[in-house]
Structure 1
């Protein structure tokens, strides 16, 4: 996939089945984030603000429902949209009212949360590519949350440690409107092959 880029995948139609088009991205409706193993597609036009993603995320990761520690969040933008004065959210005015914006960890290449952690409790998971918190090392200082431009890590006051997205995909599985997709790179690669953009000639496996 190296060198192809997301733009090339869109032009080739490989991402169309996940609702990704150049027009949807240009309009700000669809956002794409990539990790070493996943492409995360969020479609704001499909989000109804039900917050089921928050509930299911915390049920799986914390064993309880907690909007505060949810790794994917709608509530932050529920009232104001992307920010006060934008005309979005339930308090907005005009055409932008009740347009909900889903927020999730961007799994940054150079994550501020990891860089500013004083005890180096955040690292990159080799299997998922997600930046994850080591609960045994975390001291709950909240520096990761303050450093993140999107305020995505949150300190769980019941455990005294920070929490953030581990790319488990539970939010996508339980979204009733299909507003979130965690797509394996293998699936995207197969789409590219099927479209004829790339062909496989030889598969070599090293022992």
Structure 2
């Protein structure tokens, strides 16, 4: 299967939020009922909820500004996982709870593995993964890989009535986005751009941004947190230290295998050191044990016929 991608064309979006509702339904996620997250009065935006959360994986954003060929820029945006080609969240996750689906390139999750460390949230250049406190796990868009594996498009794409969302092979989605952005520029939208072809290793959510990246809430130049790279530098070091520790413990175990220290007693009257079990004289003289630990271990190890220790 070729790498897949979602295409979002903002010039065709009507802001109906059908995709937002479909995401909730398919993933069995609750919806907040308060107006604009308990705002005391209407804030002037139709966007609700105001941002992603532990129970919200997709939010359609609304931005209304003066300008453009028609005097107003009503820029709809999409706040959700961008499914990075070089996904820093998957790179930094210590439990493998976030990983890249090999068949599609989509960055998906396994909640059963999540340990709630939230490293992924700090690593994401788009501020996407959110902590679901009631469940103690990270929540984000999975790309509906369960649907895709069965020949279906993601839930958000399936429900889009105006055709602003498409799904297919990534190369095709990139080509269509670039073609559409060129058409918009020809029609007077000078800032129109295709977004996602190269950002963070190539995104798997490709967007046609009618008024430019910033107007639609996207970052023109997303940067990965340097801490992600540091963890990768440290992995070989910690791996080497761990290997040496294991090797050392194994060597000590080998030396100690079969070792049983004789019980000894010193007789100050004769100056003899006796074996408590056999009463045989082991040595005569100073009662202090002059042999090293290594010598004691080696003298108790099994011997080969040639006299060498195993």
In which range does the TM-score fall when normalised by the shorter chain? 0.5 to 0.7
CA distance in 2, matches of 1:178, 1:184: 17
Deviation at 1:150, TM superposition (A): 1.1
1:139 and 2:115 matched: yes
Once the two structures are TM-superposed, the CA of residue 187 in structure 1 deviates from its matched residue by 8.5
Aligned length: 141
Q: Which residue of 1 aligns with 2:217?
A: none
Aligned match of 2:135: 159
Q: Helix, strand or coil for the counterpart of 1:62? A: coil
Question: Which residue in 2 is equivalent to 1:12?
Answer: none
- Which residue of the other structure, out of 70, 84, 92, is the alignment partner of 1:108? 84
Whether the aligned pair in 2 keeps the contact of 1:128 and 1:167 (CA below 8 Å) is no
Q: Match of 1:72?
A: 58
Within-5 A mapping of 1:114-125: 114-125=90-101
With over 3 angstroms needed to count, the CA separation of the structure-2 counterparts of 1:98 and 1:186, relative to structure 1, is closer
Deviation at 1:174, TM superposition (A): 0.8
Shift in Å at residue 114 of structure 1?
A: 1.2
Deviation of the 1:73 alpha carbon:
2.6
Aligned to 1:83: none
Q: CA deviation at 1:113?
A: 0.9
Contact 1:122 1:134 in 2 (8 A): yes
Stretches of structure 2 lacking an aligned partner (at least 5 in a row): 33-48, 145-153, 174-310
TM-score, normalised by the number of residues in structure 1: 0.57
Q: Return closer, same or farther for 1:130/1:167 CA change in 2, 3 Å cut-off.
A: same
* Residue 56 (structure 1) aligns with: 22
Query: In 2 relative to 1, CA 130–157 (structure 1 residues): closer, same or farther, beyond 3 Å?
Result: same
Q: Secondary structure at the match of 1:55?
A: helix
Q: Deviations over 1:26-62 (max 9, x none)?
A: xxxxxxxxx9431321101112222221221122113
1:99 counterpart SS class: strand
Q: State whether residues 29 and 56 of structure 2, in contact with CA within 8 Å, keep that contact through their aligned partners in structure 1.
A: no
TM-score (norm 2): 0.40
Unpaired runs of 5+ residues, structure 1, are: 1-34, 79-88, 189-207
Q: How does 1:27-106 map to 2 (within 5 A)?
A: 36-65=2-31, 68=53, 69-74=55-60, 77-78=61-62, 89-90=63-64, 92-95=65-68, 96-106=72-82
Aligned partner of 1:150 in structure 2 is 126
Q: Select the structure of larger CA radius of gyration.
A: 2
Greater RCO, CA 8 A, separation 6+: 1
- In the TM superposition, what is the alpha-carbon distance from 1:185 to its structure 2 partner? 6.5
